[in-house]
Amino acid sequence: MIGLLTLWIVTVIIFAAVELLPGDIATEKLGQAATPESLAAFREKFDLNRPMVERYLSWLGGAVTGDFGISMANQRPISELIGVRTANTFFLAGYAAALAVPIAVVSGMLAALYNRSVFDRVLSNSTLAAISFPEFFIAYILILIFSVWLGWFPSLANVDVDTGLGERLYKTFLPAMTLNLIVLAYMMRMTRAAILNLLALPYIEMAHLKGIKRWRVIAVHALPNALAPIISVIALNLAYLIVGVVLVEVVFVYPGLGQVLVDAVSNRDVTVVQAACLIFAATYILLNLLADVLSIIANPRLLHPR
């Protein structure tokens, strides 16, 4: 219920923010030389002459059924325009997550296993450095190294519906690695911190006194009880992978929803902007809800606060 309420509030904010943009949309799209008749026809076609509340309710009703209306830029149904692009964005996010999650969990366990060692310090400092740099900077560094200097991967992720899985994985490796390096640092540090917080508990000390090897204590005894915060941060970072791809898609010219959003903003295609923002917001909210549910499943004690 809270998630639905949050999503409804987001729809109000998105619609109102676009409506409050300065200037007349019809004049902006058709130009100053447009005749009164053409401006009236444009407003009639896109319901711009109706009250704001009526247009919002109509847009919301269509969005619930997957009908986002017509694009003002190319006169195509928005669902057709963003369908493949949305799938591309989810593919890229899933690709990055498939690389980041296992690496982050294993790296966090190793950092906790060798706490305060040279390995732990190098890993912590390198992940902290990765967090400090913006996505576009990391993207350009990866392009410089792996595309310009080494020539291993293409600098442009130009895929289409006919691109095979192997070729798609190859062409999107650099954008996936860009996202991977950002979220990997957060997930690794959270895994390390969650495990270290448990190592001082009595049952962990008892396991050490029984002579159980340290790696087994972490993997078998500490990790299961640290799953709740780890799952939460993983789900939140998956949400970031979906909504944070805009800059990465622009740098690599990847045909995803983020690129569509940037093009729509440039063309003032407000109907597409509304649809893209709503998809990003809904995905972020759903993944946050998923994080809460999975955390409770991993640690049922969260249902009973002290």
d(CA 298, CA 210): 26
At residue 298, the pLDDT reads 66
d(CA 201, CA 216): 16
d(CA 97, CA 20): 36
Q: Which residue's structure tokens are 């691109």?
A: 163
Separation of CA 282 from chain center: 11
Question: Which residue type is seen at 202?
Answer: P
Do the Cβ atoms of 70 and 271 come closer than 8 Å? yes
H-state helical runs in 146-198 = 165-171, 173-198
Q: Which residue's structure tokens are 């983020």?
A: 258
Closest by CA to 108, choosing from 235, 193, 180, is: 193
All domains of the chain in start order, with CATH: 2-64 (no CATH), 83-303 (1.10.3720.10)
Do the Cβ atoms of 254 and 172 come closer than 8 Å? yes
Do the Cβ atoms of 79 and 68 come closer than 8 Å? yes
- Cα dihedral 205, 206, 211, 212, rounded to 10, equals -80
d(CA 259, CA 252): 10
Instruction: Name the DSSP letter for residue 22.
Output: S
At residue 302, the pLDDT reads 57
Number of helices (H), then strands (E), in the chain: 16, 0
Tens of pLDDT along the chain (306 residues)?
A: 677 788 888 888 888 887 776 666 666 666 666 677 777 777 777 767 777 888 888 888 888 887 787 887 777 888 888 888 888 988 988 888 888 888 888 888 888 878 888 888 888 788 777 777 888 888 889 899 998 898 899 888 888 878 888 888 998 899 988 888 878 888 888 888 887 777 777 777 777 677 777 777 777 777 777 777 777 777 777 777 777 778 888 889 888 888 888 888 777 788 888 888 888 888 888 888 887 777 777 666 655 555
At residue 27, the pLDDT reads 66
d(CA 260, CA 249): 9
DSSP annotation string for 69-134: -B-TTT--BHHHHHHHHHHHHHHHHHHHHHHHHHHHHHHHHHHHHTTTSHHHHHHHHHHHHHHHS-
Question: What H or E segment, with its residue span, contains residue 231?
Answer: helix 227-243
Cα Rg, the chain, nearest whole Å:
24
pTM of the model: 0.82
Instruction: Name the DSSP letter for residue 300.
Output: G
**For 248-298, how does the pLDDT look when each residue is reduced to its tens digit (9 = 90+)?**
888 898 888 888 888 887 777 888 888 888 888 888 888 888 877 777 776
Do the Cβ atoms of 138 and 181 come closer than 8 Å? yes
At residue 232, the pLDDT reads 78
**Strand ranges (DSSP E) for the chain?**
none
